[in-house]
Every structure is written in structure tokens, then in C-alpha cells.
Structure 1
Amino acid sequence: MSQISDAVTYPTEHDDWVKTILIGGVLSAFGFLLLPLLPVYGYIVRVIRHTLEEDPRPPTFGDWEELVVDGAKAVVVGVVYMLVPGIVGAIAVGGSIVAIATGTRSATAAGLAGLAVGALLTVVLSLVFGYVAVAAVVAFADERRVGAAFDVGILKPVVLSGEYATAWALSIAVFLAAGVLVGVLNGIPILGAVVGAFVFFYAQVVAARLWAGGYTDARTRAGGLNSPDVGGSAV
């Protein structure tokens, strides 16, 4: 499949790709401090923009202020979209724990059932809102304004398209593969955890390439479908 093969090799299509992966991996390794993740997310936004602009080469790290600002904006977009799953999960888990804490048999049974249903609902909502959130981040990168991330007119044709859905599904497969690889590497003390940060950064770049490609294909198709009398004869 050309789409996935292009995305997998994309991070290496630059003379300074090793340096870029090293910087991204180191920043990701210190992600527990939170602040280092902002330029990483900013770089992902930059990857999206390069892809949307049809630049075959990945960007490099540089103009750190722009990276941090774009990364912060991307985080805000993601947090806003994930508020609903977070609130539903908190209510479901909190209510179930209260019911279980009463100690009665019926309340405990109801609490456990509620906990299971709440967890399942939270997972489903997280997938749905996460699916839209990714498209929203791409829209922000494309339009260079946060408002675009919440513009229904921009997002609707994208999230309902097969092109974007396919790209998103492929990105999930990439993250799963990265997770399996990191799991294997974790068998090597210390080294596994360090290398894992670089693997996940690489996977993020591959995913960003896929998201931007799916977004572009969806917008192009929607534009073609909305064009009046394309290929038709004039009366």
C-alpha cells in the first residue's frame, strides 16, 4: 500500500533526518516534565503543514518559539475535544465507586455493572472524539487559526469521508505496531525505555503524514463533489 509505505519512509527523506529524530526522541524521553512535549507537538503540526503544502521532505526543528506556540495550541484543541469523554468517565467511575462503597450487595453489584458500562462508554467516546480531534488539529495546522479546529463546515466533510477514516485507521495500526516494538524493547533494562521514546516520536511523524494526506484527499473529494456541473454539458 503506497500510502503507508510513503508515510513510513517519510521521516527519513531529509539529509538531517537522524538529527531530527534524535532531537524529537530526547524531547519525548523527557515528556514526563510536560514542557518538552510542546515543541514535539509543534513539530507534528509542522509535519502536517509540510504535507498539506506537498513538500516531500519532512521539516527540521527550528524556530522554537513557533514550535512551542503551535504545540500549545494543538494541546488546547485536543483537551477541549477530550473533555466530554473525560467528564463522562469521571461521573461513571465516581458514581460506581460511591455505590460500591456503601457495602450493600445490591449496591456493589450495581456499582460494578456501572463501572464496566462506564469504562466501555468512555473508551467509545474517547475513540469518537479522538477521531474528530485529530482532524481538528490538522484543520488548525491548515488554516493557522484555532477557530478552524471547531469549524463544522471544515470538519464535517473530512470526518465523514472514507479517505480520512482510512488514514486514521492506518495511524492507529502504526501506533499499535510501535507499542508492540516498545514492549519488546522494554525487556532490555533502561535501554528499552530510552529507545521507546524515539520509536514513538517516529510513529507520531508517520501518523501526522497519514492524517494530513487523508485530510487533503477528503477536502479534494468534497470540493469535487460540490463543484457544479463538473463534466456536464452547458445548456
Structure 2
Amino acid sequence: MSQISDAVTYPTEHDDWVKTVLIGGVLSAFGFLLLPLLPVYGYVVRVIRHSLEGDPRPPTFGDWEELVVDGAKAFLVGAAYMLVPAIVGAVTVGGSIVAIATGTRGGAATGIAGLVVGGLLTAVLSIVFGYVAVAAVVAFADERRLGAAFDLGILKPVLLSGAYATAWAFSLVVFLAASVLVGVLNGIPVLGAVIGAFVFFYAQVVAARLWADGYGDARTEAEETSRPEVGGSTA
């Protein structure tokens, strides 16, 4: 797997990288409209495919129909996996709010305890299912079919691989660093939020590169493990 430092500079390894980041940043800035996020997700899928194919340079925006379609599929895959944490969060938080709203001391205590436990449970489930969701999106990008995102035979060796786990952990560090930077930038009215959109898009590209590298290494390890030994002794 590439070093995290290589992944951080990956988005700049193309002559048109500034144009690509500008497009991605503008689309991300209008992400509150939801539709502009689809080509961004599609671009992430394209980054994964280029990386898995061994291309050292990031792709460019183009063929917008493909970007939107791939982005919509990637969104659906992620949403499907994150449905469980979402339901658990809604039920526990909703139930806790109802308990607090009763106005009784017992209801308040129960509600607060429910919020704490429900919040922790939702957070843990989000991490676990998020770990799987990322591998599923990469599998979809690699195989170019939605079914691959839910194929246990494809996902299991990846999810149990140290290479993928490391790449995924590195991506969390990237997103955490980006979030801290965006938080600082948000101190600048309006402009900070706009710049933050570009920062987060850049972080997504770096993360996609890491995911692809970890997934590729995991699949290679699985293939080497399952390959029959040659030249073994015979009785």
C-alpha cells in the first residue's frame, strides 16, 4: 500500500489537478442541494478504479452521465449499509426524547441514560458498518456491478485484511485532519465554508486512493494465500 504521504499528494499528480479540485470543490460547496454530490461520489468511484488499475495519476471530471450514475450507485450502497445505525439511532434517541418529555424525574433519568447508551451504540455501529460500507463501494467500483458490494465472497477477505484495515484507519486520520482544518476555516464567515468544501473534496480523493490501495493489497494477499503450492512433495 502507498504511504499516506504519497496518498496526500496524489490529487496533485496531474497537470489539470487545479481544475479538478476547483470543480470538485464547487460541487461540494453546493452539496446541500444533494444532486451536486452525485458527480462527486462518481468521481470518487473513478479515483478508486484508476488506482486499482495502477494509474498513478488522478482522473479528471468528464463523461458526466457516468459520474452521476456511478455516484448514485455508490450513494445507494453506502445508504444500504448505514441503514442499521440510522435506525438504531432514530429509535434510541427518539425513545429517549419521549421519555424526557414525560416531565417526570424517572422519565428524565431514563431518557438521559437512553441518550448516552443509544449515542454510544449508534457510534459503534456507524464505525463497524462504515468499515464495511467503504469496502463495498470499492468492490462495486472494481467489479462495476452493484451485486459485488454485497458479495460476502468478495468482501470477507478484504474486511479481514490488515492492509485494508490500515488504509481505512489512515483515511479516518485524513478526514479528522480535514474536519479540524474546516472547523478553523469556519471561523471566517462565508469564505471559510467555501474553502472548507474544497478541503473536504481533496480529503475525499486522498481517502479514495487509500481505500483502493488497501483493497488491492488485500485482494492480492487473498489470491496468494489461496494459490496452490507448486513443487510440493508427493508420497
Identity of aligned residues (%): 82
Question: Distance in 2 between the 1:206 and 1:179 partners?
Answer: 14
Residue 234 of structure 1: how far off its partner (Å): 4.1
Give matches, 1:157-168, under 5 Å: 157-168=157-168
Question: Distance in 2 between the 1:212 and 1:125 partners?
Answer: 23
Question: Distance in 1 between the 2:18 and 2:158 partners?
Answer: 33
Residue 107 of structure 1: how far off its partner (Å): 2.1
**What amino acid sits opposite 2:197 in the alignment?**
A
After TM superposition, where is structure 1 displaced by more than 3 Å over at least 4 residues in a row?
none
| Greater mean alpha carbon deviation, residues 41-50 or residues 2-11 | 2-11
Question: Distance in 1 between the 2:204 and 2:142 partners?
Answer: 18
**What amino acid sits opposite 2:163 in the alignment?**
E
Give matches, 1:142-221, under 5 Å: 142-221=142-221
Q: Which residue of 2 aligns with 1:85?
A: 85
Q: Which residue of 1 aligns with 2:30?
A: 30
2:83 corresponds to 1:72:
no
Equivalenced residue count is 234
Question: Structure 1: any 5+ residue segments left out of the alignment?
Answer: none
Q: Which residue of 2 aligns with 1:117?
A: 117
2:229 corresponds to 1:233:
no
Normalising by the residue count of structure 2, what TM-score does the alignment of the two structures yield? Answer: 0.97
Q: Which residue of 1 aligns with 2:58?
A: 58
| Greater mean alpha carbon deviation, residues 176-185 or residues 147-156 | 176-185
Question: Distance in 2 between the 1:7 and 1:200 partners?
Answer: 15
Deviations 1:166-202 (A, max 9, x none): 0000000001111111122222222211111110000
**What amino acid sits opposite 2:180 in the alignment?**
V
Residue 80 of structure 1: how far off its partner (Å): 0.4
Does structure 1 retain, via aligned residues, the 8 Å contact 2:28–2:197? yes
Residue 28 of structure 1: how far off its partner (Å): 0.4
Q: Which residue of 1 aligns with 2:6?
A: 6
Normalising by the residue count of structure 1, what TM-score does the alignment of the two structures yield? Answer: 0.97
Matched residue SS, 1:15:
coil
Question: Distance in 2 between the 1:174 and 1:193 partners?
Answer: 18
Does structure 1 retain, via aligned residues, the 8 Å contact 2:2–2:210? no
**What amino acid sits opposite 1:200 in the alignment?**
F
Deviations 1:97-139 (A, max 9, x none): 1222222212221121111100100000001001100000000
Deviations 1:76-107 (A, max 9, x none): 00100010001111111111112222222122
Q: Which residue of 1 aligns with 2:44?
A: 44
Deviations 1:22-54 (A, max 9, x none): 000000001011000000000000000000000
Question: Distance in 1 between the 2:59 and 2:2 partners?
Answer: 21
**What amino acid sits opposite 2:56 in the alignment?**
P
Matched residue SS, 2:3:
helix
Coordinate RMSD, CA, aligned? 1.2
**What amino acid sits opposite 1:207 in the alignment?**
A
Matched residue SS, 2:15:
coil
Question: Distance in 1 between the 2:145 and 2:55 partners?
Answer: 21
Matched residue SS, 1:56:
coil
Residue 5 of structure 1: how far off its partner (Å): 1.2
Question: Distance in 2 between the 1:2 and 1:122 partners?
Answer: 32
Question: Distance in 2 between the 1:140 and 1:2 partners?
Answer: 21
